[in-house]
């Protein structure tokens, strides 16, 4: 019998061969992902456990994207899934992988060398994990990589010397918020296509390399919060595409280079908390797109250049805590149409605060405290309807109002977003108006301490129900604390020291359930400490020294107390054994009173105590040497 012959078309044979190869490739991808799954030790939402099924195609797994023609894994996105585990070397077998996003999980351990096989990778985000060890040099061979983010991990050591040798396409490199050290390598300039470089919040030291000026494509440069030293290199003026320049919380010295004026695309400059000296260079006036200028906490001197007040794009001007001086121009807001925050505190500015400051109608924050400003506080500030923060404390300012009542507070009632008001340490010399109760319900801080105020504390202050901080100390109030103060249920800090209070302690204080700090020192308060003080369960710091209190102490139920000063009163009776239960107490001063009896032995159980004074009482007993 003649044998039958079967012929297969060449095309069909080729297709069958490719199918076999393709099947093998997808099996390799599946094997790599199964290995990855096996290294996940925490899957709180069971996303991987339920959806990465061995019986189904990997292209149907959550977080996996495949190429439609080859059915190869091209993208792996498992960000924000709450996963924990390590990265296995088999991940490097995903040879068609273009995008890898594992950010915002809890992966730990080192990056495996096998990741060097991901030659098609262009996007890698491993940020917000707990990855550790050194950054492997193998990442430097991924020549198609455009985006690399390792921010918010625990990487240590120096940057690989050859990191940028083979990364011509890298556009964004973010290594911030790690523990990287050593010098910032000049070799980074070989990443010539970089548009964004962020090395902030690490432990880099040494100088900023002059080679940084070779990164001509750079649009964002973040080097802040390191241990850098030396001056800002003038070569930084070569980065003419730069939009953001941030080198805050370092130790740079010298002057701001005049070449910064070449960076005409700059929108944000941040040199906060360095040791820069000299004047603010006039060349910054060339930055016609500048929106934010932060030179806070340096040692700059001289006056504010006039051109700053003509920068119509400027939103934020931060010049606090320098050695700047001079006066504010009377038309200071003529060109600052977009200004939202002006911070000039802690300098040597003098002269008046111009009434035209209200023409900066977008202002939300004003900080002019700690200067030498004089003259009246303009009531026109109340026209700034968007105002949230107002700090004018520590100057020589007076009230603009001709009547004893401070008109400023009446004018501020129209500022519906106001949260902080600080005008203490000024000779305001007036009366707090009842209209203070009409301030915005959003007010959280009110400080009028040491400002020559007199009269009564108005009952209406109890309307400020969201108040957290209230400073009324070092004034000449009359009368007692209004009972309406009990309306301040969110109050945490209250200073009523040295304000000539008389009579007994107000029971209104007992209603302040959130109070943590209470200062009543140096008044003429008499009578007993109300038993309801034991209701102040949040209280940690209490100072009622230098008054005329005559009672025993009803405070021992306040287990959170850390600091107590009741010295220089007329307190009497024995010390209760319960005082030994205040385990958090670090300082206790009961000196100069009339306490009697034996020192309770329970006092020796106060293990956190580092300062104790019982002097000038009628107590008996000794204090052990080992206390």
CA 391 to chain centre: 19
How many other CB atoms are there within 10 angstroms of residue 129's CB atom?
22
Residue 428 dihedral angles phi and psi, to the nearest 5°:
-65, -40
Element (H, E) at 124: strand 123-125
Averaged confidence pLDDT in the chain: 90
- Answer yes or no: is pLDDT of 98 > 50: yes
Q: Which two tokens stand for residue 608?
A: 């956190």
Contact 464, 441 (CB under 8 A): yes
CA 621 to chain centre: 50
pLDDT band at 24 (very low <50, low <70, confident <90, very high): low
pLDDT band at 409 (very low <50, low <70, confident <90, very high): very high
Does the pTM surpass 0.85? The reply is yes
Could you report the per-residue pLDDT of 228-270, keeping only the tens digit for each? Answer: 999 999 999 999 999 999 999 889 999 999 999 999 999 999 9
Could you report the per-residue pLDDT of 414-454, keeping only the tens digit for each? Answer: 999 999 999 999 999 999 999 999 998 999 999 999 999 99
How many other CB atoms are there within 10 angstroms of residue 46's CB atom?
8
Euclidean distance between CA atoms 152 and 75, whole angstroms:
22
- Answer yes or no: is pLDDT of 105 > 70: yes
Q: CA-based angle 559:562:568, to the nearest 5? A: 110
> 18-22, 380-384, 607-611 — which is least confidently predicted?
18-22
Q: Distances in Å between the alpha carbon of 232 and those of 274, 285, 469, 554, 579? A: 11, 19, 41, 61, 58
Q: Which residue has the tokens 């080679």?
A: 211
Q: What is the arithmetic mean of pLDDT over 188-208?
A: 92
Could you report the per-residue pLDDT of 260-307, keeping only the tens digit for each? Answer: 999 999 999 999 999 999 999 999 989 999 999 999 999 999 999 998
Q: What's the confidence (pLDDT) of residue 418?
A: 96
Q: What is the arithmetic mean of pLDDT over 519-538?
A: 89
How many other CB atoms are there within 10 angstroms of residue 587's CB atom?
16
Q: What's the confidence (pLDDT) of residue 23?
A: 55
Residue 41 dihedral angles phi and psi, to the nearest 5°:
-105, -10
Tell me 448's DSSP state: -
**E runs forming strands in 138-208:** 147-149, 154-157, 172-174, 179-183, 196-198, 203-206
CA 27 to chain centre: 48
Q: What is the arithmetic mean of pLDDT over 373-383?
A: 95
Q: Distances in Å between the alpha carbon of 611 and those of 83, 559, 576? A: 48, 18, 19
DSSP letters for 332-381: TTSS-TT--EEE--SSEEEE---GGGGG-TT--EEE--SSEEEEEEPGGG
Q: What's the confidence (pLDDT) of residue 185?
A: 77
Q: What's the confidence (pLDDT) of residue 577?
A: 85
- Answer yes or no: is pLDDT of 12 > 60: no
- Burial (Cβ within 10 Å: 0-12, 13-18, ≥19) of residue 91: buried
Could you report the per-residue pLDDT of 163-194, keeping only the tens digit for each? Answer: 888 888 999 999 999 999 998 877 788 888 99
Could you report the per-residue pLDDT of 494-511, keeping only the tens digit for each? Answer: 999 999 888 888 888 888
Q: What's the confidence (pLDDT) of residue 329?
A: 94
Euclidean distance between CA atoms 401 and 377, whole angstroms:
9
Could you report the per-residue pLDDT of 310-360, keeping only the tens digit for each? Answer: 999 999 999 999 999 999 999 999 999 999 999 999 999 999 999 999 999
Euclidean distance between CA atoms 245 and 626, whole angstroms:
56
Q: Could you tell me which of 576, 572, 531 has the C-alpha nearest to residue 552?
A: 572
Q: What's the confidence (pLDDT) of residue 20?
A: 42
CA 97 to chain centre: 37
Backbone conformation region of residue 278, classed left if phi is above 0, alpha if psi is from -120 to 50, else beta: left
Contact 387, 366 (CB under 8 A): yes
Q: What's the confidence (pLDDT) of residue 14?
A: 36
């Amino acid at each position: 019998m003649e044998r039958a012959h079967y012929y297969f078309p060449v095309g069909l044979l080729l297709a069958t061969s490719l199918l076999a190869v393709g099947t093998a490739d997808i099996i390799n991808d599946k094997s790599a992902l199964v290995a990855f799954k096996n290294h996940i030790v925490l899957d709180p939402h069971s996303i991987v456990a339920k959806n990465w099924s061995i019986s189904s195609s990997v292209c149907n797994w959550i977080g996996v994207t495949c190429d439609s023609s080859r059915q190869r894994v091209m993208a792996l996105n498992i960000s924000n899934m709450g996963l924990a585990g390590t990265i296995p070397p088999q991940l490097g077998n995903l040879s068609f992988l273009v995008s890898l996003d594992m950010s915002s999980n809890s992966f730990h351990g080192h990056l495996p060398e096998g990741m060097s096989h991901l030659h098609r990778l262009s996007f890698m985000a491993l940020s917000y994990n707990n990855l550790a060890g050194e950054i492997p040099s193998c990442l430097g061979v991924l020549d198609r990589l455009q985006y690399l983010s390792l921010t918010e991990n625990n990487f240590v050591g120096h940057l690989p010397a050859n990191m940028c040798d083979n990364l011509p396409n890298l556009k964004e490199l973010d290594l911030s918020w790690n523990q990287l050290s050593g010098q910032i390598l000049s070799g980074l300039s070989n990443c010539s296509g970089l548009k964004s470089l962020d090395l902030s919040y690490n432990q880099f030291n040494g100088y900023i390399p002059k080679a940084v000026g070779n990164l001509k494509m750079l649009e964002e440069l973040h080097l802040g919060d390191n241990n850098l030293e030396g001056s800002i290199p003038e070569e930084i003026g070569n980065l003419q595409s730069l939009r953001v320049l941030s080198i805050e919380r370092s130790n740079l010295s010298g002057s701001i280079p005049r070449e910064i004026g070449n960076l005409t695309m700059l929108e944000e400059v941040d040199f906060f908390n360095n040791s820069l000296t000299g004047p603010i260079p006039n060349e910054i006036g060339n930055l016609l797109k500048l929106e934010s200028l932060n030179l806070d906490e340096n040692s700059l001197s001289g006056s504010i250049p006039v051109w700053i007040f003509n920068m119509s794009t400027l939103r934020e001007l931060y010049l606090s805590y320098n050695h700047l001086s001079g006066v504010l121009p009377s038309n200071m807001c003529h060109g600052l149409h977009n200004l939202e925050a002006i911070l000039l505190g802690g300098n040597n500015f003098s002269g008046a605060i111009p009434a035209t400051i209200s023409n900066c109608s977008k202002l939300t924050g004003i900080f002019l405290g700690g200067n030498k400003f004089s003259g009246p506080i303009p009531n026109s500030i109340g026209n700034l309807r968007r105002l949230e923060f107002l700090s004018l404390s520590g100057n020589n300012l007076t009230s603009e109002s001709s009547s004893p009542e401070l008109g400023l507070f009446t004018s501020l009632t129209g500022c519906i977003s106001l949260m902080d008001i600080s005008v203490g340490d000024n000779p305001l010399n007036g009366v707090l108006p009842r209209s203070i109760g009409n301030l915005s319900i959003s007010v959280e801080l009110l400080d009028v301490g040491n400002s020559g105020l007199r009269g009564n504390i108005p009952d209406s202050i109890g309307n400020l129900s969201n108040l957290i901080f209230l400073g009324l100390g070092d004034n000449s109030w009359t009368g007692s604390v209004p009972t309406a103060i009990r309306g301040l249920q969110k109050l945490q800090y209250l200073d009523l020291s040295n304000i000539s209070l008389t009579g007994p302690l107000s029971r209104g204080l007992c209603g302040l359930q959130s109070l943590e700090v209470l200062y009543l020192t140096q008044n003429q308060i008499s009578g007993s400490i109300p038993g309801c003080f034991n209701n102040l369960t949040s209280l940690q710091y209490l100072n009622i020294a230098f008054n005329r209190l005559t009672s025993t102490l009803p405070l021992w139920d306040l287990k959170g107390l850390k600091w107590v000063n009741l010295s220089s009163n007329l307190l009497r009776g024995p010390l209760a054994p319960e005082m030994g239960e205040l385990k958090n107490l670090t300082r206790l001063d009961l000196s100069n009173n009339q306490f009697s009896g034996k020192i309770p032995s329970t006092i020796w159980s106060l293990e956190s105590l580092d300062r104790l004074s019982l002097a000038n009482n009628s107590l008996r007993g000794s204090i052990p040497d080992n206390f």
